[in-house]
Structure 1
Amino acid sequence: MPDATNADTNWSLWTALAAALGASACCTIPLAMVSLGIGGAWISGLTALAPYRWIFVTIAVGALAYAGYNEWRLSRRPDCDCETVFSSSTRRALLGIGALAVLALIASPWLLGGSPSAATQQAQAAIKGSQKGGPSGALEAPASFRQVALEVEGMTCAACPETVKTALEDVDGVYSVRATYKPPEAVVRFDPTRASVEDLTEATANVGFPSSKSSS
């Protein structure tokens, strides 16, 4: 078996980080871009990576495991006066930080998405509140405002509704948004004199989530 080297640990850790970024590209990165006001149809290219997320996760976990194994092999070698880029303690600290970064990126869709069940309850409350004419957890919209439910395509994780919600909130005339992963929909209150359903569906499509007015 070849001897373990610092280079082995370095390349495997960088591979894990790159794969973890790929795993988060379909969900976390679009949310970050939209939150910063950066949008466009190009984001749909990132959300299209969702079906391949498991491949990136597998590569990231495998590379991270190899980096840990390689570091374990290095720790079993006798001390020497060899010249290395990092000391063993520094190398292990970097490995630990890198491991946390990889795991955080992999788990970010769930960390950023919050509780799907809570979001669903809020959306249902918004609908019922509107139907009954009572409060729905937010300030009552003026009577001229309209409410519409959109069926959203392409949502694959708990972070996706946050991206959809942020994109819809950026539309001029939108009063409030409740987006859920299960069911995949968004309930939007908006001023029909300033925005249309077409504006709303265009906003979700621009961030990679085509939508249409719900038939129910």
Structure 2
Amino acid sequence: MTKNNSSLPLAGGIAAAIGAGLCCAGPLVLLLLGVSGSWIGNLTLLEPYRPIFILLVVALFSFAGWKVYRPLENCEAGTACATPQVRKRRQIIFWGTAFIALILVTSNYWIMWFA
């Protein structure tokens, strides 16, 4: 029996998106939680690594998309990817998490309107 790691690329993509958006969304979350101070504007520790996180997001979501949308002929009979209901559910989860990752990755461009 093979181990099924179908959610690993999605989880990794979300984790990388959180890392990419942490420099901008992190201070906003702290402000929303009631934490204040002038030091919040200096939370840019992960900013130099932002391009690496974005590259990881794209790579992991590309791999997850390939796994979710691969042809039925490549799926073994009786596996989860061959079941239409499971396949459709995974596609919905894929697009939901991709949307969340897009929001996190692009947060430094639109977050300034809310802070």
> TM-score band, normalised by the shorter chain?
0.7 to 0.9
Taking structure 1 as the reference length, what is the TM-score of the superposition? 0.44
Code of the aligned partner of 2:10: L
Taking structure 2 as the reference length, what is the TM-score of the superposition? 0.77
- Show the counterpart of 2:111: 112
Q: Report the aligned-residue RMSD.
A: 2.9
Q: Greater RCO between the two (CA within 8 Å, min separation 6)?
A: 2
Aligned length: 110
Code of the aligned partner of 1:77: N
Structure 2 Cα separation of the partners of residues 58 and 78 of structure 1: 28
Structure 1 outlier segments of 4+, above 6 Å? none
Shift of 1:59: 0.6
Shift of 1:109: 1.8
Report the CA distance shift for 1:54/1:108 in structure 2 as closer, same or farther (over 3 A). same
What is the percentage of aligned positions where both structures have the same residue? Answer: 30
Does 2:26 correspond to 1:29? yes
Unaligned runs of 5+ in 1: 115-158, 163-216
Structure 1 Cα separation of the partners of residues 71 and 11 of structure 2: 18
Q: 1:82 aligns with which of 76, 79, 82?
A: 79
The structure that is helix-richer by fraction is 2
The structure that is strand-richer by fraction is 1
Considering only CA atoms, is the larger Rg found in Structure 1 or Structure 2? 1
Code of the aligned partner of 1:31: L
Cα pair 1:30 1:47 within 8 Å, conserved: no
Code of the aligned partner of 2:94: L
Structure 2 Cα separation of the partners of residues 74 and 11 of structure 1: 20
Unaligned runs of 5+ in 2: none
Code of the aligned partner of 1:22: G
